[in-house]
Every structure is written in C-alpha cells, then in structure tokens.
Amino acid sequence: MPLTVQASVDVLSRNGRTTQQWSWCLLISSTLLALCGCASQTDSQQPEQRSIGWSGALLTRAINEEPIVTSYMGTQGGSGSACNTPREMLVFEPSDATSGETFPVLTFTIGLNGDHAAVDAVTVAREAARRGFVAATLDYANDQVSCAAVDQRAHCAFNASLNSSAIALLCERPLADCSRGVATAGHSLGGALAVRAKNFDPRVRATFTIGTANGNSSAACMNPGPADGGTTDRALRNHEWRLYAGETEFAENNATTRNTVTGQDCTGGAGTVDCLRADGSGWYQVANTEVADNVADHCYQLTGNGVFFFVPVVQSCEASAIDPTFLGGREPWSLGPAIDFLTGRVDPPANQLPPDTEPAPQPARCDQGVSALEQLSSGRVTADTNPFFGSQLTVLRTAGAPADAQGFLFVLTDPSDQQAAFEFLVQTLEGIEVSLRETSPGVFELCEPEDFPVVVVMGQ
C-alpha cells in the first residue's frame, strides 16, 4: 500500500522564543486515510497562562481582559507628601454585570521599585475581577520604606475624603459599590500600603500581603494597634490580615516578626509553616518545595528565580512568569484562597448569588499559551505511540475523550534512531500550543478544534 508523505519543518528563533511552522499532506490510499491541514505559530509573546478554574461555590465572572487605564493623584516621590502627581491605575471589572449590579473594590500595590503593570500585579487584579471585584493595580512612588513614606503614599491612594485619591475614583466607577467593602492586597512595600489603607478608609475589610512584615524601618506602623493589644495606630485588625512569606525570605522577615504583626504564636523553621487561624487570617510560610522553581523567595509568586552554587538565592523579582500553583492551585498560599479570604469579608460576599438564585451556565475558561508538551505532562492530554507502516506514529488526544476518538495531533517519526525520534517529538510538542477547556472533572476539549489535526514528520 503506497505511503506518500510531504512535509517541511522550519524552526525559527525570534526574540529568544522558538517557533515552528509546518505544511504537510499525508495520503495513505484515499479509501483508508486522508489528512490535510496546516498549523502555524506566529512570533508573538507567550500569553499569560490561565488557570482552568478553582473549585468552590462562587461564580467566575467574565471580565475585560485588557485593563481600563486611568489615574489618580499620588506623591511625586522622595520625601514629598503632596498628592500632586498623576499615578496610573489599571482597572479590571466584570463585563457580565446585570442591570444595577455592583461590586466591592480591591486594590493591589506592588513592591519597592516594582512596576504596577508587572505580570503578578496584573494577575492579582484580573483574577480578583473574575471573583466579583472592581479591581485595580496602583502605581505609586515606591522608592521609600520608612513608615512616614508609607503613610504619605497611602494617604494619597486611600484617603476617601480626597476626590483625587485612588479609592475615591474607584468607588465612583459605575460598577463599584464601596459600601459593600474595600479589600487591599500588596507585595513587599506594597503590602505595607495595603495594611495601612484602613487608617485612611475605614471601609477596608481585609488584606492579604506577600513578603510583608515589620523587619524594616516601617515597623512602627505595621505592628498591631490598641484593639489588638498593641501600641501603634494601625487600624487593620489582626483577624483581617492574611500574610504570606517564602521559606527563602529576607532574614528580617521571620517567624518572630510575622507573629508580632499578626498576633500569632507559631514556631518558624524550614519548609511549610501554616500559622493561619480558622478564619483564614494569620500567616503562612511557603516551602521551597511548593513552588515550581524550588526557591520560595521574596517573590515566590513568580517562577524563574534559582540557585547559586547549589544554594537557593533571592533574585531581583524580575521573573516574567507566574508560578502555576500560585495562579491555579488550591494550596493555602495560592491566589484563589487568598482572594477567597478577601471575598468572605465584604458584605455580602463578592460574587455570591442571592438565595434561591440558580447560577447561569458559565462557559469553561480556555487556558492559553500552553505547549502540547506541558498539556501532556499535566495529564490534560494523552498520547499513544504505535507502529505505522515502518514508522512510529504518536497520536495525541484530550484527556477523558472516548477511546475511539480521533486524535488532534499526529507525529510521525523514524524508529531506527530512538534518541533522535524522542528529541524530535519533545521539540515538536514544545513548539505547538494547545488551548483546552475542562468540560467536566478530568475531561477536556480543544478550544480551537479547527486548527487540528496536524501531522508532523521527522526527517522530511
């Protein structure tokens, strides 16, 4: 039986990213098998990976994927205290609001010298909007760590009596209702602003922070206030703060300082330390082994930091990818449970349906920018490899598909050189993006089935 294969494989490297383009035609007797099609990947920045969804009773809202860019008046920086400098806000909101529906507000502030448009800041705001918040990531003069500087920045951002403040402008948005409550979140220095926000707006109900404690010159304003037996003027109560820190944190952010600011009494040490109360407040130490790059440092929410001479090191927080468990997991330190802590404090809880209301069917979200190899490794795709007319044919199918379901990706290789065949298969699966949605637990389907099937041939 004649086998005719024509294929070309071009491997391109643009901007540090390898892409592949394929054109092919495979014909094995027209009565038996005819597959024709094409797939190409253009040179575009890899989209931010999305979680398929968190379990739980709360709805996932449709949102504006691109931020609404607006501004408020913040400080210029340095020792200046006047709120006279335009500062950008990136706002995400539910896009499926019904007539008259409104939402509480959430803000995220990035750390020292960080960028409010960085991937972790935008991810937090975007995912909070999915959970029923009008959410914004705020630019501010993040160049000083003193208590005075923190309060100057917080005053401009969170003083509701200032018409030009971030919170005043956010609460004026048509979809916002700050009478339901305000939630704040932040990383490092931005976490200090998030903690101090309630001193300027009593509508703040809860806060979660990453890498924020009192081990620096902002200690005087981070420790508990009189309502929790402390001596500072901090308005945020202990039970309203959920604090996260990595195992490989800065030395001053240790169990002692975390206990001090949250009112807990837990023993520190290596690995995971769960010092959360039953209501979700308190602190949690993320172990090195819990994150993808095995270094739970000051920026554990990002992946790409590493080791230096076999010793985990705190990098400069410049990694550009989100840790997958932070984004899509259900661990206590994952983003979902962190937002859930805030969600449960607004009145009524954000994104919670009224009693006796049936939720509208929600289409499953597609994960974007995920390679076929990653989908295979995660179990969302399965592969069968069988002899095929003197060659070796690997067929990929979505997990949960019927056993006789047609595959969506076919890779034909020469079995005479197993090592080369394996390397080619890995390279091919790394170069093809496969977008899936979970239709039911453990069952996946292609988001863009018109792009498949694809046949990739080795050595032609």
- Whole-number Å distance between alpha carbons of 270 and 251: 13
Residue type, 359: P
Residue 183 near residue 345, CB atoms below 8 Å: yes
What is the number of residues in the chain?
Answer: 460
Higher-pLDDT residue of 363 and 266 is 266
Q: Which amino acid is at 247?
A: E
pLDDT tens, 318-372? 677 899 999 988 899 999 999 999 998 998 777 665 555 555 555 567 777 788 8
> Is-above-0.85 flag for pTM?
no
Tell me how far CA of residue 103 lies from CA of 153, 172, 215, 335, in angstroms. 25, 12, 35, 19
pLDDT given for residue 360 in this prediction: 54
- Please give the Cα distance from 76 to 97 (Å, whole number): 36
State CA 273 to chain mean position distance: 22
Please give the pLDDT value at position 46.
33
Q: Per the structure block, which two tokens stand in for 272? A: 């995971």
Buried b (16+ CB within 10 A) or exposed e, 72-106: bbbbeeeeeeebebebbbbbbbbeebeeeebbbbb
pLDDT, residue 319, reads 73
Task: Give the pLDDT score at 50.
Answer: 26
Question: Which residue would you say has higher pLDDT here, 452 or 24?
Answer: 452
Alpha-carbon distance 9 to 454, whole Å? 12
**Overall fold of domain 68-343:** Rossmann fold (3.40.50)
Tens digits of residue pLDDT in 425-441: 888 888 888 888 888 88
Provide mean pLDDT across the span 196-213: 94
pLDDT at 408: 85
Residue with the larger pLDDT of the pair 353 and 166: 166
Domain residues of the chain, as ranges?
Answer: 4-46+364-457, 68-343
Q: Can you give the pLDDT at residue 156?
A: 96
Whether residue 384 has pLDDT greater than 70: yes
* Average pLDDT of the chain, as a whole number: 80
* SS3 readout for 156-173: HHHCCCCCCCHHHHHHCC
CB-CB contact of 136 with 91 (8 Å):
yes
